Structure 1
Amino acid sequence: MNNNMKLIADSGSTKTDWCLIDDNGERKTVQTIGINPYHMNSAAIKEVLDKELYPFIFPDAVTEIFYYGAGCSTVRKCQTIDNVLQNFFTRANIEVHHDLLGAARALCGNEPGIACILGTGSNSCFYDGNDISENVVSLGYLFGDEGSGAHMGKQLIIDYFQGVIPTDIIESFNKRYNPTVESILDAVYNQPRPSRFLASFSPFLLENISHPYIKGLVTNSFDEFFSRNVSRYSNYQSVKVNFTGSVAYFFRDVLLESAGKAGITTNKIYRSAIEGLIDFHIN
């Protein structure tokens, strides 16, 4: 690889995909844990880069960085990321954007449409082909995040402790997790990355998706996402709706059923936005 390289990053709350690209199109990819300036200070972000990114690349060779990240929704939070990156990549011109713009560019390119993120958390926007023109605010795992892993995990935990879950699912859940009220409350209120903890129950939901209770829980979460978010956009039934994120990707069959009920025309479903972002910035 040469000394004139672009670095593109797509960061959620759980993982960050980094792709280093030279002038010949040669690529090198690295995956680190997720970075979110709402949950991590500069020192914590620097520690991630020190341990998980820096050893695998040559910072002095990077001349452009396009970073799209969860939590980069204000100038102040974008500046936090920019400052940390600038300390590593002293030669680079750095652009820091919200992960929602990254999703829109990856999914829609230069065409108008609705872009949705369904991963650990959720978000959505109407994209006019150049920028985000409408956004139903995402209120995070406490007040929103409908359709996300955190939202589904939270509902599963509520149902478990309130005795709503069927006996056979309780037995499977206990064998795998054996949770207590104390352990759950500690993880959510005292430990770092509570949304990631709640979303960690997503594999259990996926493994048991054929069970009526589990499918109903997942369906209800998607239904809420469409009714509270997507349906708020102008002409939402006349444009294509696109998705990125692990929850959208792995639960796509249920997602498509829910979208169909809502009269929504679906288009792309990506596990990660990184490939679409590479196409956007290179082609």
Structure 2
Amino acid sequence: MRLLVDSGSTKADWVAIDDAGKVLFTTQTLGLNPEVLEKEVIVERLNDRFDILQNKDTATHLFFYGAGCGTDKMKKTLTGIFKEYFSNASIVVEEDTYAAVYATTPKDEKAIVCILGTGSNCSYFDGTTLHQKVQSLGYIVMDDCSGNVFGKELIRKYYFNKMPKELAVEFEKEYNLEPDFIKAKLYKEANPNAYLATFAKFLIQNKEHPFCQKIIFKGMKSFVKNYVKQYDNCKEVPVHFVGSIAFYLKEELQQTFDKYELQLGNVLRRPIDGLIAFHGQNK
């Protein structure tokens, strides 16, 4: 039994397949980002799902693609945790961009592949190897156009009294905006980036409002200039996306790409279906 996992900071999609590529079960845990979670929290999240707990000793392979796995140190950390937990399995840990590549990019084709979800990322795939010009430093200083950055921007606008009154009223109805509550979520609990990203739903729901449009297009412009345009051939190859922000703001993404004369390729909410197909063909 092979376990395939696509993990962001907010949630992780799990699929178990047999040697023929048949799906045995699917489940979901909270995100397993090793940059923001301690070992105990990761194990607790694994134990919380019955299917994973029941099959941890029968799994023969684990292919994990996750946010926060872009450095050798984080890969090694998570691999060690998984080797201990899935004691009989061969473990492969890669950054989440590889899942995006396998899900969006036809075999041997070249493309720029991006993630716009809780966090953000952008790499160039030459048909064989992934190349990355910008090493992510995480949600505090990077993650342009991501859910957590949009969430932070909304909170700032609200607290600095820069949010239009009609939107502020709706914002107050939707979220607990008490200062102590927000600070506890940001500085005392796990996954502050995932918490910030919960506010992006409000931005998407109100994306037709000029205030929200300004935030959205500013974020997309920043992502194109700081990430996509790092690659000299960015106008020559398609630019694929995975992630909820890209999926629900595809129209705005297309408008931004038209402005910069870029080719918007495939846009998927989740890459897990593509992973099933890829690993079903590559045993």
Provide the TM-score with structure 1 as the length reference.
0.93
1:125-164 to structure 2, matched below 5 A, reads 125-164=123-162
Select between 135-144 and 244-253 the one with higher mean Cα deviation: 135-144
Cα 1:55–1:12 shift into 2, 3 Å: closer
Q: In the TM superposition, what is the alpha-carbon distance from 1:279 to its structure 2 partner?
A: 1.9
What CA distance in whole angstroms lies between the structure 1 residues aligned with 2:174 and 2:67? 30
Which residue pairs with 2:213 in the alignment? 215
1:1-283 to structure 2, matched below 5 A, reads 5-27=1-23, 28-52=25-49, 54-55=51-52, 57-108=54-105, 109-283=107-281
**2:4 touches 2:276 (CA, 8 Å); kept in 1?**
yes
Q: Could you say what secondary structure the match of 1:165 adopts?
A: coil
- Equivalent pairs, count: 279
**Uncovered stretches (5+) of structure 1, i.e. residues with no partner:** none
RCO comparison, higher one (Cα < 8 Å, 6+): 2
Q: Could you say what secondary structure the match of 1:268 adopts?
A: strand
Q: Which runs of 4+ in 1 moved over 3 A?
A: 53-57, 180-183
**Uncovered stretches (5+) of structure 2, i.e. residues with no partner:** none
Q: In the TM superposition, what is the alpha-carbon distance from 1:278 to its structure 2 partner?
A: 1.8
**1:134 touches 1:233 (CA, 8 Å); kept in 2?**
no
Letter paired with 1:45: I
Q: In the TM superposition, what is the alpha-carbon distance from 1:54 to its structure 2 partner?
A: 4.8
Letter paired with 2:123: C
Provide the TM-score with structure 2 as the length reference.
0.93
Letter paired with 1:12: G
Structure 1 residues 29-66: Cα deviation after superposition (integer angstroms, max 9, x where no partner): 11111001111111111111111255565233321221
Select between 115-124 and 133-142 the one with higher mean Cα deviation: 133-142
Q: Could you say what secondary structure the match of 1:20 adopts?
A: strand
What CA distance in whole angstroms lies between the structure 1 residues aligned with 2:50 and 2:220? 34
**2:46 touches 2:53 (CA, 8 Å); kept in 1?**
no
Cα 1:60–1:190 shift into 2, 3 Å: closer
CA RMSD, Structure 1 to Structure 2 (Å): 1.7
Cα 1:79–1:54 shift into 2, 3 Å: farther
Structure 1 residues 174-219: Cα deviation after superposition (integer angstroms, max 9, x where no partner): 2222513443333223332111111111111121111111122112
**1:14 touches 1:120 (CA, 8 Å); kept in 2?**
yes
What CA distance in whole angstroms lies between the structure 2 residues aligned with 1:282 and 1:196? 31
Select between 103-112 and 260-269 the one with higher mean Cα deviation: 103-112
Q: Could you say what secondary structure the match of 1:140 adopts?
A: coil
Letter paired with 1:246: S
Q: In the TM superposition, what is the alpha-carbon distance from 1:245 to its structure 2 partner?
A: 0.7
What CA distance in whole angstroms lies between the structure 1 residues aligned with 2:133 and 2:96? 13
Q: Could you say what secondary structure the match of 2:60 adopts?
A: strand
Letter paired with 1:198: L
Q: Could you say what secondary structure the match of 2:189 adopts?
A: coil
What CA distance in whole angstroms lies between the structure 1 residues aligned with 2:111 and 2:76? 28
What CA distance in whole angstroms lies between the structure 2 residues aligned with 1:57 and 1:23? 19
Select between 127-136 and 172-181 the one with higher mean Cα deviation: 172-181
